[in-house]
Amino acid sequence: MSRLKVGVIFGGASEEHAVSIKSAQEVAKNLDTDKYEPFWLGITTGGDWRLCDEPDAGWENRSARPAVLSPDRSLHGLLVREQEGYETVRLDVVLPILHGKLGEDGAIQGLLELSGIPYIGCDIQGSAVCMDKSLAYTVAKGGGISTPNFWVVAEDEKVDPDHLPYPVFVKPARSGSSFGVSKVTRADELAGALSEARQYDSKVLIEEAVAGREIGCAVLGELFGLITGEVDRVDLSHGFFRIHQEDSPETGSENSTFIVPADISDESRQLVRETAETIYRTLGCKGLARVDMFLTDDGQVVLNEVNTMPGMTSYSRYPRMMAAAGLPLSDVIDRLISMTLHGKKR
């Protein structure tokens, strides 16, 4: 029986380039090569596409060939440059293991839609809505989901610092992994926080801080419905949670650890899972997502954000939560591919 040809896209021209490579390396360890023939397609920080043997540390320079994903549906795959022309590779499915801009915002999903190749994860609309936190909050509130109070700040817009209910969080509206995020406790800190956020996005979000515990829930769309992983809790020693900002995240964070399963009541755990599923459906997610929330002291669940292509590294929350529920990453990958090829991404 021939193996399925699986294109795995990683890297990317975003601030989350390095994280994506680590996610791809973990996928490589858990991809069943008896079932799948992988084609590793790396994107450099400059936006160049390269077909390589594996997503290791030297993937850009060692035996990598220029290649592109063709939008021509009759080709249904890759154009790989050879000395005299191009070789074509027909793909059965694509895993876009890209985080942040151009990976979770609908851009790569649009190219894959043009190509006609099935791909795991959210479609264009779901990706775009979840990537823009202000849009996600607006849609979620319309669906009866609690969100933080927030204000959108357009490019070059001025904000009166004396009219905000401190503490607040200032963050790029369309970025990930806590890049450009600041906690502001005083009016004189606001200008610097806005400047920091605008390094990553011209559109900025100011959120009123939510008093509560930071909770996460991994969601997997299956052929028969939704599966949730074990709920986790971010245990902070000081400051606020800044994922992927450490020099060596594999060895742990300087101010946070993850409690899996979360040390909360069974009633709260069930509410978190149900709310995560509601958020997933309301925002139009498909395939997989990590839903981050707050659990307030009075037992309410408030949306924080949704990651439509969560990290898959050895230290990432999504695979940890799924593994704690009895689904190792290899099984998650199998289920995502199977569901995608059946054309029933939930």
3-state secondary structure 155-204: CCCCCCHHHCCCCEEEEECCCCCCCCCEEECCHHHHHHHHHHHCCCCCCE
For this structure, is 76 an active site residue? no
Tokens of 141: 């509130």
For this structure, is 315 an active site residue? yes
The arrangement of secondary structure in 150-208, i.e. its CATH architecture, is 2-Layer Sandwich (3.30)
Q: How far apart are CA 249 and CA 184, in angstroms?
A: 25
Q: How many residues belong to the chain?
A: 346
Cβ within 8 Å of residue 259, ≥6 positions away? 232, 233, 235
Q: How far apart are CA 222 and CA 219, in angstroms?
A: 10
Tokens of 280: 């997933």
228 to 255, 280, 339: CA distances (angstroms): 27, 11, 16
pLDDT, average across residues 296-311:
96
Is the domain spanning 128-147+211-341 CATH 3.30.470.20? The answer is: yes
Q: How far apart are CA 273 and CA 60, in angstroms?
A: 40
Greatest mean pLDDT range, 58-62, 221-225, 274-278: 274-278
Q: Identify the pLDDT of residue 179.
A: 87
- Map residue 184 onto helix, strand or coil: strand
Helix, strand, coil abundance in the chain, percent, nearest 5: 30, 30, 45
For this structure, is 335 an active site residue? no
Q: How far apart are CA 305 and CA 136, in angstroms?
A: 8
84 to 80, 81, 87, 120, 124: CA distances (angstroms): 11, 8, 9, 33, 35
Q: Identify the pLDDT of residue 346.
A: 45
Nearest C-alpha neighbor of 185 from the set 159, 160, 158, 165:
165
The catalytically annotated residue of 171, 290, 320, 335 is: 290
Given the structure tokens 């990651």, which residue do they identify?
307
Could you state, in order of their start, the residue ranges of all structural domains in the chain?
4-119, 128-147+211-341, 150-208
| Beta-ladder partners of 79 | 68, 88
Q: Are strands 4-11 and 93-96 parallel, antiparallel or unpaired?
A: parallel
CATH fold of 4-119: Rossmann fold (3.40.50)
The catalytically annotated residue of 5, 22, 273, 320 is: 22
The catalytically annotated residue of 311, 317, 320, 335 is: 311
| Beta-ladder partners of 100 | none
Tokens of 144: 């009866």
Q: How far apart are CA 47 and CA 50, in angstroms?
A: 10
Q: How far apart are CA 85 and CA 63, in angstroms?
A: 17
Which amino acid is present at 74?
S
Q: Would the pTM count as exceeding 0.85?
A: yes
For this structure, is 22 an active site residue? yes
Q: With a cut of 90, say whether residue 24 has pLDDT above it.
A: yes
pLDDT, average across residues 24-50:
96
Backbone angles phi, psi at 21, to 5 degrees: -60, -45
Backbone angles phi, psi at 269, to 5 degrees: -60, -45
Q: With a cut of 80, say whether residue 305 has pLDDT above it.
A: yes
For this structure, is 99 an active site residue? yes
Task: Quick: pLDDT tens for 249-270.
Answer: 655 555 578 999 999 999 999 9
Average predicted confidence (pLDDT) for the chain: 92
Q: Is 138 buried (19+), middle (13-18) or exposed (0-12) by CB count in 10 A?
A: middle
For this structure, is 50 an active site residue? no
Where does the pLDDT of residue 51 fall: very low under 50, low under 70, confident under 90, or very high at 90 and above? very high
Q: Of the given ranges (78-87, 262-271, 274-283), which has the lowest mean pLDDT?
A: 78-87
Q: How far apart are CA 295 and CA 278, in angstroms?
A: 16
Cβ within 8 Å of residue 30, ≥6 positions away? 328, 329, 330, 333
State the CB neighbour count (10 A cutoff) for residue 268: 17
Given the structure tokens 């390269």, which residue do they identify?
50
Which residue would you say has higher pLDDT here, 24 or 241? 24
Q: Identify the pLDDT of residue 57.
A: 83
The catalytically annotated residue of 5, 12, 17, 19 is: 19
For this structure, is 311 an active site residue? yes
The catalytically annotated residue of 84, 155, 250, 267 is: 250
Decide: 203 and 283 in contact? Cβ < 8 Å: no
